[in-house]
With several copies, the nearest count.
Chain A
């Protein structure tokens, strides 16, 4: 689990998954989207509490690997200011067969989104801004990407 203030390089990440014993590779990328709940988004900030984001991210990856045996599994999450289209989170998995890679990648991103101490502040086109509640938050329940 890597938290970085620099732009994520998906090609460099991907190189770490390559393995001649693997026939399948699944990647998930979360991009900064120009709309959220009907509002136009201009940019956003991620705030990350490093020590626990890293340890909880490692735990998520270990749990996904235990349930879906894959050969490589990695996750990188941005912090700081991001513009539209920027890569916010990258998950990559490789395995001999494709079933495990799809399932592990899905489990990692689903858990990363609800368990890691990472917060997102959206800046809207109308000049307003606000912290986004998590997708399982009961008070403001709505789905994110």
Chain B
């Protein structure tokens, strides 16, 4: 089923992609499948073990489902402190 989600990129990912936000049409069932599609769209988007995802401003897991209208935040490895 085709969904439209808003994807937001941060820090190194924003610089790799070249913009902070985009609308993406996708059939991906999970955040992880969506990330694969994003990598196909942006070959510079590197996969890291420590990358994280949030859906609608809540921390989520990569196997979590995504729904039409979701905002998906793609976080490269964090480095606070």
Contact = CB atoms under 8 A, between A and B. Distances in A.
B24 interface: no
Query: Helix, strand, loop or mixed for chain A's interface?
Result: mixed
A89 B58 CA distance: 23
B57 A51 contact: yes
Contacts of A134: 50, 77-79
Interface string B49-81: 110101001110000000000000101111111
Contacts of B11: 47, 119, 121, 131
Tier of interface size on chain A: 35 or more
B40 to A, nearest CB: 20
Given A49-B73, A51-B57, A52-B73, A138 B78 contact: no
Contact of B80 (A120, A136, A138): A120
Contacts of A13: none
A21 interface: no
A40 to B, nearest CB: 18
B52 to A, nearest CB: 7
Given A52-B73, A134-B50, A89 B59 contact: no
A118 interface: yes
B73 A133 contact: no
A114 B78 contact: yes
B52 A117 contact: yes
Nearest to A115: B78
A144 B50 contact: no
Interface of B: 10-12, 15, 46, 48-50, 52, 54, 57-59, 73, 75-81
